[in-house]
A and B are shown apart, each in its own frame.
Chain A
């Protein structure tokens, strides 16, 4: 289903709206804010007006430390996402489970050698400032010898 999205010249950036503004404003201030339901206490991401677990509209934004673990990843070797990504090839897109709030987030994994990335790798949050409106949450391996310390154990299922 590529070939019909993301083909504009520049990088496609988020467009904050009524439901996501707090999240993006938090990122701009270098805080990762995740919604927690006031009634059933479930965390949810991406931001949503109602809790998918209990339909409550009452929620509180909690700051997350941004520590997490790689659940899976892929490596782009082609500029399917458009010309803006040409200079970044190869780049890694990962799904990270945050250890604190247990939500799953997408991000780029900032590594020099994608071959060393493993499922189970521990990561930390790093903010990438794009412009004065948008700052993106990104991830970087926790250990300095990036990628070489991926947890070998399978995650609990």
Chain B
């Protein structure tokens, strides 16, 4: 037995390891091939991700205005743009709004998304059709949905207030009161984000083996208990991915807020991305705009790292 084992191992290693001289040559050839496979992706990354990021960082250290486009001159100003950002009265309110917007949107999207995903796990007539209909908000161009929501939320003649009025509820100043506007914007963003959450979570649910539920049912774990002790633990890797990706997508949302309130009323819906957009493309202070967006990128980066780690853990598991 030992003999045979030994021979097989030897045979295997002989088959695996080619003669030493040829090995070196093949190794270098392999290396070249590997490089060639990496090259297009690396080139793409450098061109379309590396360059913009580096450009954005240098821009944030320059006095970059309309003049720059004509003369090519953008004097270095050090951290003056960041100073302008941090000392602006809108910086902290927009930070808070970004946080509230992100947390509110993610919480809403996730809870409703998970509930719908669990609901669609059961098969019933038209369930597939209904589930695909859920994707609609995802398919609409954001500029269209925000224009539509803007008329739905209109204070005097919007359909939502008309509907609420039939229950005797006073018209809600959805987009015109600084106290309510952020909530309204969050609600619309939740609506936009639900399809993403449902799709990913539904996929995660499909991967949980039915046997677990059957075994759990024998032990008396049904309904809520089954959800807590079987669904949630098994869904954990997917949940962390959904949440972190959700944060990265939500924190930079621009078009919905621009379309609904443009940062108003009275700056109640100013977020970092709105500030960045307005500084760059309304005030033409591209340096300050870049500084705002770099802060945003930095925050996203933190979550991206969390995502990568969570992802690696998920793969390990």
Co-assembled chains A and B = no
Q: Give B residues with C-beta under 8 Å from A.
A: none
Using CB atoms and an 8 Å cutoff, list the residues of chain A in contact with chain B: none
